[in-house]
Amino acid sequence: MQYIISFLEGIITFISPCLLPMLPIYITYFAGGGKRNTHATLKNAFGFVLGFTIVFIAMGALAGTVGSFFKEYATAVNIISGIIVIFFGLNFLGVFKLNIFNGPSSMANVSNLGFFSSGLFGMIFSVGWTPCVGAFLGSALMMASQQGHTVQAMIMLTAYSAGLGIPFVLSAVLIDKLKSTFDFIKKHYAVINSICGGLLIFIGLMMAFGMIGRFITFLG
């Protein structure tokens, strides 16, 4: 069940206010800056997703390794991890606003991308846009660190990357048909942010009180 939660966090990251509005620019980059060619756009989109997936899985491996190292201090790790995730949730709810969660205001000038250069672009994205995707990526990493097993943590971040990556690939091909859906999401960002913030706070509380494992077992 924890993998499903990570997958859903990836999807929510995709529709976040600082990422979704930039999607047409990404699609233009995938198409090489010119008229869209479905094959080339799809190939570059896969390369881009593979790039940030590699980095996120590496982060998951690190989180799992650190979590296993501090396993004897599980209570302290749970509390600290929970507080961090609650902090992310309060930011989503607008209790306070930190610019570090807004992401870059502009993007690099990238053109003539191929599969491998798109992969490199995806790696740069994963690092440069960490502040933008940080809330739910951070939540996924905190949950991964609580697993205490490197392989499980890597699988969790793979699920997160799939949740973020699948919409990217679909949008690369169907962006024109999905325009009304994106417009609907943008119009209801206030509601979406409230739901996301509440979800993060709930997950954070479960983590802080050491109940996330029992909650996941209950859902399963």
How confident is the model at residue 105, as a pLDDT?
A: 47
pLDDT in tens, 92-116: 787 866 554 554 444 455 556 688 8
Most trustworthy range by pLDDT among 16-20, 130-134, 200-204: 200-204
Residue 95 has φ and ψ, to the nearest 5°, of: -60, -35
Q: Are 128 and 18 in contact (CB under 8 A)?
A: no
The residue written with tokens 């048909």 in the block is 177
For residue 215, give every residue at least 6 positions away whose Cβ sits within 8 Å of its Cβ, in sequence order, or none: 206
3-state secondary structure at position 98: coil
Please give the biggest Cα pair distance in the chain. 56
For 161-174, the pLDDT digits (tens) are: 999 999 888 888 78
Tokens of 219: 């859902």
DSSP string, 34-69: SS--HHHHHHHHHHHHHHHHHHHHHHHHHHHHHHHH
CA–CA separation, 144 vs 129, rounded Å?
20
For the chain, the structural domain boundaries read 2-219
Residue 125 in this model has a pLDDT that exceeds 80 = no
Average pLDDT, the chain: 75
Q: Are 126 and 45 in contact (CB under 8 A)?
A: no
Query: What value, to the nearest 5°, has the Cα angle with vertex 54 and ends 173 and 154?
Result: 115
Cβ-contact 82, 201 below 8 angstroms: no
Q: Decide if pLDDT at 59 tops 80.
A: yes
pLDDT value of position 82: 79
Confidence (pLDDT) at 92: 73
Average pLDDT value for residue range 20-39? 68
Specify the pLDDT at position 185: 72
Find the mean pLDDT for residues 61-89: 75
Q: Tokens in use for 51?
A: 């790039």
* 4 or 30, greater pLDDT: 4
pLDDT at residue 117 greater than cutoff 50: yes
